[in-house]
């Protein structure tokens, strides 16, 4: 490769952004509104489907985000700007979810710690 080809390859590589799918669970009524209007600033998203179902609801949106913009080391984050409907990959309604076991004490401790970090100066949990 000559210098020009290397430069072009480098530019092409820089333009490649690693995308990740995140989730937002909600109720049927809210899902219909989001499908029409998009997501408001302050909306929470989860990195895992299970968290979106647990804390949001059975109507789950899949949204694609640039991984470099996501806060490291947290299971949820909130957006600081409006997110249009064009960013929605999928809306799925999950039927009845049946929990078989839950360590509620551990879940509450993790949730409380994450919220503490979120509200103590953001710590990168907003994008």
Q: What is the pLDDT of residues 12-68, one digit of tens each?
A: 655 667 888 999 999 999 999 999 999 999 999 999 999 999 899 999 999 999 888
Give the residues across from 20 on adjacent strands.
Answer: 65
Taking residues 59-86, what's their average pLDDT?
90
Gap between the terminal Cα atoms of the chain: 39
CA distances from 122 to 16, 82, 97, 109, 118 (A): 28, 18, 32, 19, 5
Across the chain, mean pLDDT equals: 83
Tell me the CATH class for 18-119: alpha beta
DSSP designation for 70: S
Residue ranges covered by each domain of the chain: 18-119
Give the Cα separation of 127 and 69 in Å (integer): 6
Q: CB neighbours of 114 closer than 8 A, spacing ≥ 6?
A: 74, 75, 76, 125
Q: What is the pTM of this model?
A: 0.67
């Amino acid at each position: 490769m000559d210098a020009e080809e290397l430069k072009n390859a480098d530019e092409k590589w820089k333009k490649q952004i690693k995308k990740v799918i995140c989730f937002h669970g909600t109720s049927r009524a809210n899902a219909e509104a989001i499908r029409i209007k998009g997501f408001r600033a302050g909306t929470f998203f989860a990195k895992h489907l299970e968290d979106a179902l647990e804390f949001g609801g059975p109507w789950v949106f899949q949204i694609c985000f640039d991984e470099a913009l996501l806060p490291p080391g947290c299971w949820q984050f909130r957006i600081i700007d409006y997110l249009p409907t064009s960013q929605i990959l999928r809306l799925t309604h999950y039927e009845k979810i049946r929990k078989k076991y839950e360590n509620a004490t551990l879940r509450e401790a993790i949730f409380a710690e994450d919220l503490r970090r979120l509200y103590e100066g953001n710590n990168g949990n907003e994008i």
